[in-house]
């Protein structure tokens, strides 16, 4: 019998890489999507297009306990990866109520439904380096205290604590993956890396003349999503549930990202990029850098794609997309 897995947020970047990984490993893959996504597959399911026939999609909403409960009862998963969230930090300042309600309740509903209908199911929560916020220490480890700087970060701290509490109170096999930024050619266009690689490719192809960004001084620890979903999988294959930092251990500024992306196309970003105050966040996370020693030791995991190759991979793919015939 195939192992059944349920993925919330299956339509996102990580959902797409994780589904492929689990299909390759012989899992029966189930995913939760919003009803609107099923009605508009062309736009909302583009990342899953090549594997749509191989996976099972169920419509449910993170805002409805009843709908999550029904899917969990029907699928009775052995593993559940809870990736769904309002995940764009900037937007969380504009709509803090819905970010906080959806993200916290969605995690709580999923945990509770599993406890009631599939208590042996292993659970993964997509926690985030945003929880470290105004960092207390660099690099950040599993023991670094949290200081979130956005409604999104706050919602992730609550999700992290819910996950830990279900593990301790109800004996659920529940893990927190504290993932640092992770990118790919399937990254959403609103995040800074994709905005840069897409913007640079459009400028190269003559389709745009400038690129407006916010704070160029922030530093992030950027890895490759395809590597990070392997760490998620490994967490659920251990004997005991635990929490892990997943990162590369390197930090770079947005300017460094710009250097590599534009250089790769033979362009000088200073000529095209404008820093626009209206794109700055009300509270910024200035530096993130993760220490993944625990994952290395216990999961035998390490990142394979380095910063340079990640930027190149994204620029090359975006160039193909904007100028498909060249």
| Catalytic (active-site) positions | 128, 130, 152
CA distance 81 to 285: 26
CB 171 within 8 A of CB 299: no
Residue with tokens 């819905």: 98
Q: Which is nearer to ligand GDR, 78 or 225 (CB)?
A: 225
The nearest distance, CB 272 to ligand GDR, in angstroms, is 13
The correct pick among 111, 254, 305, 319 for binding ligand GDR (CB under 6 A) is 254
Residue with tokens 């042996």: 120
Stretch that binds ligand GDR, among 108-116, 197-205, 277-285, 315-323 (CB under 6 A): 277-285
Q: Which is nearer to ligand GDR, 284 or 316 (CB)?
A: 284
CB 85 within 8 A of CB 104: no
Cα distances (angstroms) measured from residue 310 to each of 52, 113, 230, 271 = 26, 37, 17, 23
CA distance 46 to 188: 11
Q: Is 129 in the site for ligand GDR (CB under 6 A)?
A: yes
Q: Would you tell me how many other CB atoms lie within 10 Å of the CB of residue 145?
A: 10
Q: Is 90 in the site for ligand GDR (CB under 6 A)?
A: yes
Q: Is 201 in the site for ligand GDR (CB under 6 A)?
A: no
The nearest distance, CB 162 to ligand GDR, in angstroms, is 16
The nearest distance, CB 252 to ligand GDR, in angstroms, is 11
Stretch that binds ligand GDR, among 4-12, 123-131, 240-248, 262-270 (CB under 6 A): 123-131
Q: How far is CA 48 from the centre of its chain?
A: 16
Q: Is 8 in the site for ligand GDR (CB under 6 A)?
A: no
Stretch that binds ligand GDR, among 140-148, 166-174, 187-195, 200-208 (CB under 6 A): 187-195
Q: Is 45 in the site for ligand GDR (CB under 6 A)?
A: no
| CB-based burial, 284-294: b 16+ in 10 Å, e otherwise | bbebbbbbbeb
> How many residues bind ligand GDR, per CB under 6 A?
24
The correct pick among 77, 133, 214, 223 for binding ligand GDR (CB under 6 A) is 214
The correct pick among 128, 176, 184, 251 for binding ligand GDR (CB under 6 A) is 128
Q: What does 76-99 look like in DSSP terms, one character per residue?
A: --SEEEE--S---HHHHHHSHHHH
Q: Is 248 in the site for ligand GDR (CB under 6 A)?
A: no
CB 222 within 8 A of CB 248: yes
* Tokens of residue 85, six digits: 């969230």
The residue ranges that bind ligand GDR (CB under 6 A) are 87, 89-90, 128-130, 179-181, 190-193, 195, 213-215, 218, 220, 254, 279, 281, 284-285
């Amino acid at each position: 019998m195939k192992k059944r897995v349920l993925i919330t947020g299956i339509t996102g970047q990580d959902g797409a890489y994780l589904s492929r990984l689990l299909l390759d490993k012989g899992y029966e893959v189930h995913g939760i999507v919003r009803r609107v996504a099923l009605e508009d597959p062309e736009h909302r399911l583009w990342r899953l297009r090549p594997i749509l026939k191989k996976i099972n999609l169920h419509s449910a909403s993170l805002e409805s306990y009843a709908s999550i409960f029904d899917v969990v009862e029907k699928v009775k998963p052995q593993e559940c990866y809870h990736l769904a969230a309002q995940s764009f930090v900037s937007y969380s300042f504009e709509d803090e109520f819905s970010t906080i309600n959806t993200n916290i309740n969605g995690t709580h509903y999923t945990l509770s439904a599993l406890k009631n209908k599939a208590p042996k199911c292993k659970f993964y929560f997509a926690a985030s380096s945003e929880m470290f916020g105004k960092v207390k220490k660099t690099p950040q480890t599993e023991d670094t205290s949290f200081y979130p700087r956005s409604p999104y970060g706050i919602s992730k701290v609550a999700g992290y604590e819910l996950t830990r509490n279900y593990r301790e109170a109800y004996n659920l096999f529940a893990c927190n993956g504290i993932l640092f930024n992770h990118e790919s050619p399937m990254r959403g266009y609103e995040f800074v890396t994709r905005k840069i690689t897409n913007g640079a490719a459009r400028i190269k192809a003559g389709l745009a003349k400038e690129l407006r960004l916010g704070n160029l001084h922030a530093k992030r620890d950027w890895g490759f999503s395809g590597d990070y979903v392997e760490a998620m999988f490994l967490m659920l294959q251990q004997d005991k549930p635990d929490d892990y930092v997943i990162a590369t251990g390197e930090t770079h500024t947005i300017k460094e990202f710009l250097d590599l992306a534009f250089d790769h196309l033979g362009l000088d970003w200073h000529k095209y990029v404008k820093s626009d105050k209206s794109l700055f966040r009300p509270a910024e996370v200035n530096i993130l850098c993760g220490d993944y020693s625990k994952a290395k030791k216990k999961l035998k995991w390490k990142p394979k794609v380095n910063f340079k190759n990640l930027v190149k991979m994204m620029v090359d793919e975006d160039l193909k997309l904007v100028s498909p015939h060249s």
